[in-house]
Chains A and B, each alone.
Chain A
Amino acid sequence: MTLTKENTQQMTRNMMIAACALLMIAGLMQAQNTGTTTLSVVVGPEAALTVTTGTTSLTTASTAFANPYTGTTSLTYQIRTTKTTGSGTVTVKITSDFAGTGGPSVGTPPSAGDALTYTCTVSTPGTACTGSQTASTTAATSLATFGAGANSTKAGNTASTSWSLTDDPVYATGTYTATATYTISAS
């Protein structure tokens, strides 16, 4: 078969058209592929608390020993206890007794009946301690308890202790400080 010049030009045109078509198709081609990862997380019991009252001042309105010194310490707590089997507690312990001689003392009260006591307020899902609790320098005492599957809010729930310190005439005048440490636990 003899190729004429016209045949050759036509073939060239056809090839160019085909090439352009292929390029256009290639330009329009879209490829897509996927891969999948399974993310796993184990959520366990946790607890945290923040004392929101920096310093709690115990004051009394009485000048005749008629009323104890009182004050309130507020805190927020976050808690998550294990479903069906978990529990949690918030406790408080006097980790540093009133400093200075002649003043009040939790560990060694100067007079019988002198005490630092408190009552509790706890929002759900906690259960507040019942009645008046006597604070101790040797043992953590209860502020709140939690049952299984307890969950606080993300921002935290509130609790507080309302303190009451005997106003004993034997206390020497002055300023006295003590440190109360709160502990929250969850299982």
Chain B
Amino acid sequence: MKTMVWRFGTPWLALFALGIIPAGGSTGTGSQTLSATINPVGSITAPASASLTTSTTTFQPFHGNVAVNYQARTSAAGGGTITLSVSSDFSPSGGPSAASGALTYTCSGATLGSACSGSQTASTTSQTPVLTLPPSACTGGGGVCSTQNPNSVSLSFTLTDNPGYATGAYTANVTFTISTT
């Protein structure tokens, strides 16, 4: 943001102080056209970490929930998506692997747009759907926009519990991407 600072020299200050305005001064008006281009934009925030746990000892899947917050504005002719990909598969080796299709998820509770339907298999090589944003979507404020700010969508992850996994702690990174046009 640019700030303009007007600086008056001492003689002018003196004139103002005395209430003296030079005779014959003129007044004028000017107009300035202000234009703002409102572009599609999206931002997304995901929790730093989430734990996948199982409540039984009989090889039932591990589960974990992740709430993703987002803000979006789409154009009248545009739309948007939120997708995810496994940017770093479970490590160290010997445990679960998203590349083998062990990690799935469902989406629910989207406060703007439509959450993915059914069970999705997370991938290390491609983006898979989380949410679709319609044209003219916008976050917050109510009216034509959503009342929530930020918006949110919940994901429920399921990880297969395979006896073949070696015991230990494993981590993977999931990257969410919001795109708007």
Enumerate chain A interface residues (CB-CB to B < 8 A): 22, 25-48, 78-83, 86, 149, 151-154, 156
Contacts and interface: CB of A to CB of B under 8 A. Distances in A.
A48 B178 contact: no
Nearest to A150: B163
B95 A43 contact: yes
Contacts of A38: 48-50, 171-174
Contact of A37 (B38, B46, B167, B169): B46
B176 to A, nearest CB: 5
B50 A149 contact: no
B163 A31 contact: no
27 contacts: A25-B37, A26-B40, A27-B181, A28-B181, A30-B40, A31-B181, A32-B42, A33-B44, A34-B175, A35-B175, A35-B176, A36-B46, A36-B173, A37-B49, A37-B50, A39-B173, A40-B171, A41-B171, A42-B168, A43-B95, A43-B168, A44-B167, A48-B57, A79-B163, A80-B163, A82-B167, A151-B166
Contacts of B169: 40-43
Contacts of B165: 43, 80, 151
Given A27-B78, A34-B175, A35-B176, A41 B163 contact: no
Interface stretch (B60-68, B106-114, B139-147): B60-68
Given A31-B179, A40-B52, A78 B171 contact: no
Please provide the 4 A-B residue pairs with the shortest distance between their CB atoms, ordered closest to farther.
A35-B46, A41-B52, A37-B46, A48-B58
A103 B159 CA distance: 51
Given A40-B51, A43-B170, A35 B179 contact: no
B47 interface: yes
A37 B163 contact: no
Nearest to A154: B162
A47 B59 CA distance: 8
B134 interface: no
A41 B159 contact: yes
A77 B57 CA distance: 13
B10 interface: no
B99 interface: no
A151 B39 CA distance: 55
Contacts of B161: 43, 46
B119 interface: no
B181 A80 contact: no
A81 B174 CA distance: 28
B179 A32 contact: yes
Contact of A151 (B164, B177, B178): B164
A47 B51 CA distance: 22
B20 interface: no
Contact of B59 (A27, A41, A78): A78
